[in-house]
Amino acid sequence: MSRVPFPLVVALFAASCATDAGAPETRPASRPVDEGPPAGVSPTLAPLLRRAFAEIERLASPKEIQESLKALTARPNLAGSPAAAAATRFVESRFMLAGLETRVEEFQPLVPYPVECTVELLRPYAYRAPMVEQPLDRDFDTHSGELLPPYLAYAADGDVQGGVVYAHYGRAEDFDRLEAAGVDVRGRIVVARYGKTYRGAKVTEAARRGAIAAVLYSDPQDDGFARGPEHPEGPWRPKSAVQRGSALDLSRRPGDPLTPDAPADAMALRLALEEAETLQPIPAVALSWGDVEPILKALDGLPAPEGWQGAMPFAYRLGGGKAAAARVALRSDWRRRPIRNVVGLLRGAVWPEETVMIGCHRDAWCHGAVDPGGGQAAMLEAARLLGALARAGLRPSRSVAFCSWDGEEFGLLGSTEHVEGARARLLETCVLYLNADAAVSGDRFGASASPELRPLVRATLSGLGAGEGGDLWRTTAPTGAVRFALPGGGSDHVPFVHQIGAPWAEFGSSGPYGVYHSLYDTFGWMKRHGDPD
């Protein structure tokens, strides 16, 4: 679907950064960064780099990418699981085949798994949410028997009962509006939609306002039937699909909750659970819209304000009265589990001590074809391409490190522990960090980058797609104006930016994607909707 395969963008940008042609732009710029053409940066000025670009485009293989994605998504890839260990070995073998100096580093962070997760309506009628995602006959991988029940990691254990309040997206302004309407959430169970902000922030805010539990769900208005056909007919979220995820309070810090600012290795001094400030203080669970529908239907009280109505076929109400009461019970196995990063190094020929780092997480809540399979398969192909160039005599001037992170879904565990364990070295050697995550879900290309890297990003991309109607920017921005997305949190660039101040960039190719963090984010979904080619 994309005019230019995403792995080529990763490989070409890495080649730009790792050669002397990229050297001036991988340091803080001495002049203001504007939106015009970057003078003196175009890769066409460097014959060696131009040759590398041509070889990369010649060698790139959609078949290799597809086979990697098939292997990575064959089983659910939850951090700490046996399937995750198998995925580690697969990536390690691919890095070694690419000719990279490969090592595996292990950490032992807190990785809770669910033991009990119950949501039931007590009045006006009895109802227990099934919390089961229904397999699809037309998508083989949805019949997996290795999945854990849907849950939110790091929410508190508890068994609570109370009235129910609908809090829209669960943002501070939504709770303010409830308060202004006279709806008290103290001692109640809050139901909030996914979207607009990170799920952990919703749970943190609910607890701060006095709620005793939080129930998060995906409203079909945001990523379900209101947007278009559901999977398998279309790319949007089926009725029983649940968005799993971490509820860790990432606003305080990412990484292992028990070893702040230190790597979670065998020698680490660990906090007690009650001392860990990034764990949530209340139970929190995730439901599908099919699971939550009977609960929202039972609410009384004021009608939902303008803009708060979702797509389910009834009038949403705020609740807070005596009509509806519910129970939420949650218990987790609070165990430390092994996570393993795989790092493959292509040593530079001129400045081997300076390293361009490329990273993508490998773990997923389920099969993870988009998140993170697309990015991981792209990174493996980029490693194969640059390894082939090195064997052909086109070794980069700088070193290039490919990093397959583990435990990202739980709170950026692998990347954060890596940075905490190697901070002093990375401050001296890391030239920049290129992040890949849920990199491919359609054909709309986009990029984020630190200001000092934007000229280099623009120059790399301007050399692509010439045979198909112009550079890559102009396939997505007809006016030629370059616009970079603002940086956010929630992915593995965060520890590099926050802890060592590294310049960073991220590319992606997006489209309609309604199966995020659910059973339905499969190879079949990618072949039907995300990237059939």
Residue that the structure tokens 């529908």 belong to: 293
H or E stretch covering 425? helix 423-429
Q: Per the structure block, which two tokens stand in for 185? A: 């959430």
What span, in angstroms and rounded, lies between the C-alpha atoms of 329 and 204? 18
What span, in angstroms and rounded, lies between the C-alpha atoms of 208 and 487? 27
The residue among 491, 321, 299 whose CA lies nearest residue 408 is 491
Name the CA radius of gyration of the chain, rounded: 24
Q: What does residue 367 show for φ and ψ, rounded to 5 degrees?
A: -80, -35
Per the residue annotation, which of 205, 230, 408, 420 is the catalytic one? Answer: 408
The residue among 232, 244, 239 whose CA lies nearest residue 312 is 239
Q: Per the structure block, which two tokens stand in for 43? A: 């890769």
Is residue 423 exposed (0-12), middle (13-18) or buried (19+ Cβ within 10 Å)?
middle
Please say whether the beta carbons of 232 and 223 come within 8 A.
no
408 flagged as catalytic? yes
Please say whether the beta carbons of 314 and 297 come within 8 A.
yes
Look up residue 199 and give its amino acid.
R
CA 496 to chain centre: 16
Please say whether the beta carbons of 348 and 399 come within 8 A.
yes
Q: Which residues are catalytic?
A: 408
